[in-house]
Amino acid sequence: MILPIRLYGDPVLRRSARDVKTFDDDLRNLASDMIETMHDANGVGLAAPQVGLPLRLFVALELGPVEETDGEEDESTDERPVLATHVMVNPRITSREGTQVAPDGCLSIPGLWVDDMVRDASVRVAYQDLDGAPHELEAQGHFAHVIQHELDHLDGVLFFDRLPEQARRDFLETHRSELADMQRRAKAMIKERKATPVA
Ligand code: ZN
Q: What is the pLDDT of residues 3-51, one digit of tens each?
A: 999 999 999 999 999 999 999 999 999 999 999 999 999 999 999 999 9
Distance from the alpha carbon of residue 142 to the mean position of ligand 1, in angstroms: 14
* Active-site option among 75, 150, 173, 178: 150
192 is catalytic: no
CATH number of 11-195: 3.90.45.10
More confident residue, 123 or 194: 123
Burial (CB count within 10 angstroms: exposed 0-12, middle 13-18, buried 19+), residue 191: exposed
Domain ranges of the chain: 11-195
CA dihedral in degrees (107, 108, 110, 114; nearest 10)? -80
Model pLDDT, residue 20: 98
Distance from the alpha carbon of residue 191 to the mean position of ligand 1, in angstroms: 23
Q: What is the mean pLDDT of residues 92-120?
A: 97
Cα(62)–Cα(27) distance, rounded to whole angstroms? 21
How confident is residue 165, by pLDDT bands cut at 50, 70 and 90?
A: very high
Q: Quick check: 147 and 91 in contact, CB under 8 A?
A: yes
CA atoms within 13 A on the CB side of 97: 7
- How many beta carbons lie within 10 A of that of residue 127, not counting itself? 22
How confident is residue 77, by pLDDT bands cut at 50, 70 and 90?
A: low
How confident is residue 163, by pLDDT bands cut at 50, 70 and 90?
A: very high
Model pLDDT, residue 153: 98
Distance from the alpha carbon of residue 181 to the mean position of ligand 1, in angstroms: 18
How confident is residue 65, by pLDDT bands cut at 50, 70 and 90?
A: confident
Q: Quick check: 136 and 126 in contact, CB under 8 A?
A: yes
Distance from the alpha carbon of residue 106 to the mean position of ligand 1, in angstroms: 4
Q: What is the mean pLDDT of residues 73-87?
A: 79
CA-CA distances (angstroms) from residue 34 to 27, 43, 127, 155? 10, 11, 17, 18
Cα(50)–Cα(53) distance, rounded to whole angstroms? 7
- How many beta carbons lie within 10 A of that of residue 166, not counting itself? 8
Q: Tell me the residue ranges of DSSP E strands in 17-79.
A: 45-47, 57-63
pLDDT in tens, 174-198: 999 999 999 999 999 999 988 876 6
Q: Is the pLDDT of residue 144 over 90?
A: yes
